[in-house]
Structure 1
Amino acid sequence: MKSSTSIFSQLKSWCVLHPRKAALAGVCAAALVFTAASVLRVKERIYFNWVDMAQASTRIDNAIWLPDYRVDLQALPVAGVPDDLSGITYDYDQNRLLAITNSGPMQIVAMDKSSNVLASYPLIGFKDTEDITYMGDGLVAVVEERSHSISFLTMPATPGPINRNNAHNVTLGLNQSDTENKGLEGIAYDAVEDRLYAVKERDPRQLFAITGVRESLAGNLQLEVRDLSEWLDRSVYSTDLSAVHVDPVTGHLLLLSDESKALFELNSDGDLVSSRTFLSGLSDVKESVPQAEGVTMDTLGNLYVISEPNLFYSFSKKPVTVAQH
């Protein structure tokens, strides 16, 4: 396979020698910008990988530290979910994973840690459900992308339908400039701080923190909403965001990008701590994760990623020993 630099050089030469064949000068310009961006993206990843290795000795003990994670299960199809697996969370009360779909039929699927389906809960009255987060005591929050809404509901004791009319719903009209498929994409709950994090996919990418959620649901309304999008501009080199997770041990955020096929760890100040790619050849996955849509961790620190259409991945921490000289 030719390198991005080689392709860029050849494309540039072709545009210069055959301007008429390109039909429009804009075609050449767009192609040059695209290939140049590809080169820069590779350079960014090399740079951040170098930063991770250079600072490993000082940061590895108080971080999730994504470079230590190795794939255990990869690209396993989830039975009974033909398409549009879009989010995942860990139910620590029942030691199970809860995944959500965003199309026919929309449902919450309970799974074990090997992707075996334990139960399904059809969703009634919901539209374009993108992510789910577990909040404890059976309570979950579900985000709907196009309407920018979050629904709070209790999981039934036995498998069965869940009706939106029985949930507590709130709409976040934040930067809702159009009805395109670029709304709220991910959600995660920090039980220690009683805080929800929500991410907007792109155009622009945004990160919001909503504090006082459970307290408000209990009747003591005291919500505080903060826009943390500056963290993304400063620390997350991705073109989009597809999911977010909060690690209860470190308080660090994990931010997932589908388009950039990467996962980022940020600390409580929004600084980049570590990252890893899901590209084959640059990581331990056999084939690049096609469309990573959800990420979560269990109480043992294991990492789970789901990808459209219905693929399941799990990773565990296997620290790399750094030789001392």
Structure 2
Amino acid sequence: MARARICKPCLWTALLGIGFLFIWYFKVLALGYYWLSTTVNAAQWEGSSLWLPGYQVAVEARPIEGLTRNTSGLTFNNETGTLFTVINRPPQIAELTTDGRLLRVIELEGARDPEGITYVQGDTYVISDEHSDSMYWVRIGPDTRHVSIAARSSLGIRIDSVHNSSFEGVSWDSEQNRLFVVKEKLPLRVLVIKGLDVFSESRGFNIDISEWKSSSAASLFMSDLSSLTLHEPTGHLLLLSDESALVVEYAPDGQPIGMLPLWRGFNGLQRKVPQPEGLAVGPDSALYVLSEPNLFYRFERIQKPAVAAN
């Protein structure tokens, strides 16, 4: 009697499929648990946070005329009252109005795959480049049309380097002079970098790198991380996931306190946000989301929070 032969590639494929199903299943359970938890604690946080469940979409899926592909990252400049994003092919920086209109495009020379941008102060910004696992200090004035990262101050971080799954979003904390950086996946990470002199042209830094963690390991239930922004008045961190189409607000101790699903039927959305890659908060607490390649979203809180945004 002939013995059945086991197809090893088929076996590995089946095991891999089971593994992905296992991960997906338990992330769904975690999502449900934290959704219930934030709902139960609504009275505690509604008046002392951004409180994402109280937001409704005000501008939905507006194409940014003049941009056609690969927008990523988003930051709000409090001094100009405008938004800035980066484009990776070709490398560029774009300035936008708060209703998603293009003001200008700035050539970005020397970057290979810019994925994140954060406003610091004055004309100083930090841009993350996924290809080189580096952060670059650049200056953008009101008349700037060309920026080169050659000979600019930079910081390279090679931790868990994986092609196309490296560092994405960046956010500057001006209160404590810290830079927050998110790693997309494999694994998900949020790093906090201290000791940076963002206004110095020196290439030397006496830095300290630590990993921000939620108060519960299971609460980073998103499938990936594509962007983040720090809300300085509260010290709360907002994380954006492309694959999960979700924004989550975390208290300073890492406790998840509110969620904004970017799904059809939630928070006034007519359709799911297809590929959210950028996240920013304005001084009026408006929340901005940028979806690749060029769709613009603005969410506004129906009842304004007790704290101002930054």
How does the TM-score come out when normalised to structure 1? 0.84
The answer as to whether partners of 1:199 and 1:244 remain within 8 angstroms in 2 is yes
* Residues 1:134 and 2:84 are matched in the alignment: no
The answer as to whether partners of 1:73 and 1:314 remain within 8 angstroms in 2 is yes
When the two chains are superposed, the root-mean-square deviation of aligned CA atoms in Å is 2.4
1:268 paired residue among 245, 252, 272:
252
Does 29-38 or 146-155 show the bigger shift? Answer: 29-38
Of structures 1 and 2, the one with the larger relative CO (CA 8 A, separation 6+) is 2
* Residues 1:292 and 2:280 are matched in the alignment: no
How many angstroms apart in 2 are the aligned matches of 1:218 and 1:164?
12
How many angstroms apart in 2 are the aligned matches of 1:253 and 1:80?
31
How many angstroms apart in 1 are the aligned matches of 2:205 and 2:168?
25
Aligned to 2:294: 310
How many angstroms apart in 2 are the aligned matches of 1:112 and 1:133?
16
Residues 235-275 of structure 1, C-alpha deviations (whole Å, 9 max, x = no match): 22111110110001101111111011111111222221211
Q: Which runs of 5+ in 2 are unaligned?
A: 1-8, 305-310
Residues 27-76 of structure 1, C-alpha deviations (whole Å, 9 max, x = no match): 66555555565554444333222212211111222212111111111111
2:138 paired residue among 147, 150, 153:
153
Q: Counterparts of 1:84-163 in structure 2 under 5 Å?
A: 84-103=70-89, 105-163=90-148
Q: Counterparts of 1:197-212 in structure 2 under 5 Å?
A: 197-212=180-195
How many angstroms apart in 2 are the aligned matches of 1:30 and 1:203?
16
Percent identical among aligned pairs is 26
Q: Counterparts of 1:154-193 in structure 2 under 5 Å?
A: 154-176=139-161, 178=162, 180-193=163-176
The answer as to whether partners of 2:53 and 2:267 remain within 8 angstroms in 1 is no
Q: Which runs of 5+ in 1 are unaligned?
A: 1-22, 321-325
1:133 and 1:95, CA in 2 relative to 1: closer, same or farther beyond 3 A?
Answer: same
1:129 and 1:192, CA in 2 relative to 1: closer, same or farther beyond 3 A?
Answer: same
Residues 93-118 of structure 1, C-alpha deviations (whole Å, 9 max, x = no match): 11101111111x22111111011111
1:79 and 1:152, CA in 2 relative to 1: closer, same or farther beyond 3 A?
Answer: same
Aligned to 2:177: 194
The answer as to whether partners of 2:62 and 2:296 remain within 8 angstroms in 1 is yes
1:231 and 1:294, CA in 2 relative to 1: closer, same or farther beyond 3 A?
Answer: farther
Query: 1:72 is matched by which residue type in structure 2?
Result: A
Q: Counterparts of 1:207-218 in structure 2 under 5 Å?
A: 207-214=190-197, 217=200
Aligned to 1:7: none
Q: CA deviation at 1:198?
A: 0.4
How many angstroms apart in 1 are the aligned matches of 2:13 and 2:208?
47
How many angstroms apart in 2 are the aligned matches of 1:30 and 1:134?
41
How many angstroms apart in 1 are the aligned matches of 2:214 and 2:98?
35
1:290 and 1:302, CA in 2 relative to 1: closer, same or farther beyond 3 A?
Answer: same
Aligned to 1:76: 62
1:48 paired residue among 10, 34, 37:
34
Partner secondary structure for residue 62 of structure 1:
coil
Aligned to 2:307: none
Q: CA deviation at 1:26?
A: 5.7
The answer as to whether partners of 2:214 and 2:253 remain within 8 angstroms in 1 is no
How many angstroms apart in 2 are the aligned matches of 1:234 and 1:40?
9
